[in-house]
């Protein structure tokens, strides 16, 4: 079975840049597409800064960093994805945006055997697959932030996904990218978020109701349950807008109250307090 040598990544934000960095370090030629030239430049700077930090921390050598940079290209034209063997979309967690990207990739990626993967946290994979003319080549490939550090990838086949697509995706994740892969059914939340989101939302409700301060909620879970990070700090890392989008997707599918986004979370998102990426969420990041 042929290995992936030409990978496409759509979206140069935290997730997309992380996926691109890992792939380039593992010897894969990567093309990253963003919506505009300025966004592509920002994505390039984000990957470069991450690689520099990895050198400073002794994780990689300067030679490995330079080799990875040489394998990375950036564009603002999805048409440049025409020659890709495998494309991973990592755009905003919005069904309309993701559907538009997948539909466009279906048109521009010339090899009909090429796989189109989505890094969605919660959107049903089949909804994206049926927007293409190759539903058997569409699969969920959910990475975790920060991608260079987190080893897990969830693989989510839709009802339409072929066995060949599943095997090729697993091989890319495990053998080429060096990740640990688990498989999940195509239902909102998959494995990790189906367990994680209710826990995070419960922490927001606890803060909202005045049971405890943010610092005490987080320290309670860090010291009492040996969690490396408390739930509210974790929400700041994930991004409050992303957490809300996942919660809303899960509530839409299951109609369970535990998946409903609390009012405090919705108001913080409306105010632009999204966590680390905006400098302020449940904590401040000056």
Extents of the domains making up the chain? 6-183, 193-277
* pLDDT at residue 2 in the model: 83
Q: Is 145 a catalytic residue?
A: no
Name the active-site residue from 21, 142, 188, 249: 142
Name the active-site residue from 89, 122, 154, 249: 154
Contact 206, 231 (CB under 8 A): no
Contact 37, 12 (CB under 8 A): no
Please report which helix (H) or strand (E) contains residue 29, including its range.
strand 29-33
Three-state DSSP at 185 gives coil
CATH fourth-level superfamily of 6-183: NAD(P)-binding Rossmann-like Domain (3.40.50.720)
Q: Is 94 a catalytic residue?
A: no
Please report which helix (H) or strand (E) contains residue 115, including its range.
strand 115-118
Q: Is 154 a catalytic residue?
A: yes
* pLDDT at residue 101 in the model: 97
* pLDDT at residue 286 in the model: 81
Q: How far apart are CA 222 and CA 207, in angstroms?
A: 16
Contact 204, 262 (CB under 8 A): yes
* pLDDT at residue 20 in the model: 97
Instruction: Convert 195-216 to b/e letters by CB count within 10 Å (16 or more is b).
Output: ebbbebbebbbbbeeeeeebee
Contact 120, 98 (CB under 8 A): yes
Instruction: Copy the structure tokens of residue 18.
Output: 């992380």
The residue among 53, 32, 35, 56 whose CA lies nearest residue 44 is 32
Please report which helix (H) or strand (E) contains residue 74, including its range.
strand 72-75
Task: Provide the whole-model pTM.
Answer: 0.91
User: Which position has the token pair 């040996």?
Assistant: 226
Question: Pseudo-torsion of CA 34, 39, 44, 45, nearest 10°?
Answer: -160
Q: Is 121 a catalytic residue?
A: yes
Per-residue pLDDT of the chain (286 residues; tens, 9 = 90+): 689 999 999 999 989 999 999 999 999 999 999 989 898 899 999 999 999 999 999 999 999 999 999 999 999 999 999 999 999 999 988 899 999 999 999 999 999 999 999 999 888 999 999 999 999 999 999 999 899 999 999 999 999 999 999 999 999 999 999 999 999 999 999 999 999 999 999 999 999 999 999 999 999 999 999 999 999 999 999 999 999 999 999 999 999 999 999 999 999 999 999 999 999 999 999 8
* pLDDT at residue 93 in the model: 87
Name the active-site residue from 121, 122, 188, 249: 121
CATH, domain range 193-277: 1.10.1040.10
């Amino acid at each position: 079975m042929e290995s992936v040598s030409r990978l496409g990544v759509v979206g140069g934000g935290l997730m997309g840049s992380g996926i691109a960095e890992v792939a380039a370090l593992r010897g894969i030629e990567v093309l990253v597409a963003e919506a505009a030239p300025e966004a592509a430049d920002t994505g390039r700077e984000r990957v470069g800064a991450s690689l520099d930090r990895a050198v400073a921390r002794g994780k990689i050598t300067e030679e490995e960093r330079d080799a990875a940079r040489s394998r990375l290209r950036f564009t603002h034209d999805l048409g440049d994805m025409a020659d890709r063997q495998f494309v991973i979309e990592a755009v905003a967690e919005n069904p309309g945006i993701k559907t538009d990207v997948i539909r466009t990739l279906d048109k521009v990626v010339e090899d009909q055997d090429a796989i189109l993967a989505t890094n969605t946290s919660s959107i049903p994979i089949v909804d994206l697959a049926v927007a293409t003319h190759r539903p058997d080549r569409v699969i969920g490939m959910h990475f975790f932030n920060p991608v260079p550090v987190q080893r897990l990838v969830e693989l989510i086949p839709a009802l339409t996904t072929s066995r060949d697509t599943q095997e090729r995706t697993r091989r890319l994740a495990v053998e080429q990218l060096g990740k640990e892969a688990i498989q999940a059914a195509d239902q909102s939340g998959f494995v990790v978020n189906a367990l994680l989101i209710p826990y995070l939302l419960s922490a927001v409700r606890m803060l909202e109701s005045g049971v405890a301060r943010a610092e005490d909620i987080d320290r309670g879970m860090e010291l009492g349950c040996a969690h490396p990070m408390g739930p509210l700090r974790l929400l700041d890392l994930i991004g409050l807008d992303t957490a809300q989008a996942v919660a809303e997707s899960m509530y839409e599918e299951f109609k369970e109250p535990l998946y409903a986004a609390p009012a405090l979370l919705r108001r913080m998102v409306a105010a632009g307090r999204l966590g680390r990426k905006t400098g302020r969420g449940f904590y401040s990041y000056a």
